[in-house]
Amino acid sequence: MPLEVSYSKQAANYLKNLDAPTKRRVLEKVAEVSADYMDPRNSKPLEGSEKRSARVGKYRILLLAVKEKNALIVAEIASRGQVYRET
Amino acid sequence: MEMALAAATFIGTDAWNADLYGSLSISSRLSAAIKSSAAQLKIAGFFWKTNQKIESFLDRIDSAVRDAESAAAKGKSKNEPLDRVRVEKAVNQLLDLYLILDNVYQHCVRYRLNNFSRLAGGLSRLRRNADRVNELAMWLHDVLNPDFKDAFASAGAEFENGETVPASEVCR
């Protein structure tokens, strides 16, 4: 059963200001994660299984799964740009 | 973190280097000569082969992450310490691979290979695979450099206080 999605204030505001195609892609990604949040193709674990990250282009989406309440919280959406070689 | 270590184990192995970089260099060389129908078919074949190899490696990594996560959830985790050097090396190798894939893609688009129907599908698949590689590198980088703790804490508090925004309001 898909988790019920809600958004932090930051994530909701950030999403509001995205252009329509990017917003649609983010919403699609969140829907995929809510359907099976432990599928590493959709999101990857950061700390334990509950704190996860997903990416849509240059945007990083932080997701918090609260399994006992059947909830998925979109904690943060932010532009992270690219990571470059550190050496 | 074991999930990151499980992923890093696959990256940079001899098989990874020989298979992926070998096929990519061939793709790059061929992308310059694309006049005849036969050449197009040949390049489409190389795109297919390259995409298959990348997807196979990425699927194996996803599977290793899933297994490590399941083991941790069942309390059967090996509790191996995070090997920063190994994971950093994996990040760099993934970024190298991403840059090569991106370079091949940009090169092909510059020469308008995406206008050839035989090649367009393989090229856009290459773009998607490059994004998957970049995504993997960014995830490993985030595991090594956690800058997300405050965001999770604040979102968790908002949820507990009933202050989060329902999806139905955001999707409008």
Q: Rounded distance, CA B7 to CA B16, Å?
A: 13
From the list A5, A51, A64, the residue facing B167 with the nearest CB is A5
Are B92 and A9 in contact (CB < 8 Å)?
A: no
Residue A85 near chain B (CB below 8 Å): yes
Give the three-state DSSP class for A13. helix
Are A64 and B167 in contact (CB < 8 Å)?
A: no
Give me the pLDDT at residue B160, please.
94
- pTM value is 0.77
Q: Which residues of A touch B95 (CB under 8 A)?
A: 83-85
Give me the pLDDT at residue A57, please.
82
The angle subtended at Cα A15 by Cα A9 and Cα A18, nearest 5°, is 145
Q: What parts of chain A have a pLDDT lower than 50? A: 82-87
Give me the pLDDT at residue A85, please.
44
Give me the pLDDT at residue B29, please.
60
Q: State which amino acid sits at residue B163.
A: E
Count the Cβ atoms, other than its own, within 10 Å of residue B22. Answer: 11
Q: Which residues of A touch B73 (CB under 8 A)?
A: 49
DSSP A29-68: HHHHHHH-TT-TTT-EEEETTTEEEEEETTEEEEEEEEGG
pLDDT digits (tens, 9 = 90+) for A54-76: 998 889 999 999 989 999 999 99
Walk along chain B (172 residues) and give the pLDDT tens digit of each residue: 667 777 777 676 766 666 667 666 655 565 556 667 777 888 889 899 999 999 999 999 999 988 888 888 777 766 677 788 988 999 999 999 999 998 888 888 887 888 888 889 999 999 999 989 988 999 999 888 888 889 999 999 999 999 999 999 887 7
Q: Which residues of A touch B62 (CB under 8 A)?
A: 40-41
DSSP tag of B116:
S
| Complex ipTM more than 0.85, yes or no | yes
Question: Scanning every residue of chain B, which has its alpha carbon at the shortest distance from the alpha carbon of A81?
Answer: B138
Q: Which of B57, B152, B158 to mutate to test the interface with A (most CBs of A within 10 A)?
A: B152
Q: Which of A7, A15, A29 to mutate to test the interface with B (most CBs of B within 10 A)?
A: A7
- Ordered by where they begin, the domains of chain A are 4-86 (3.30.2310.20)
Are B62 and A40 in contact (CB < 8 Å)?
A: yes
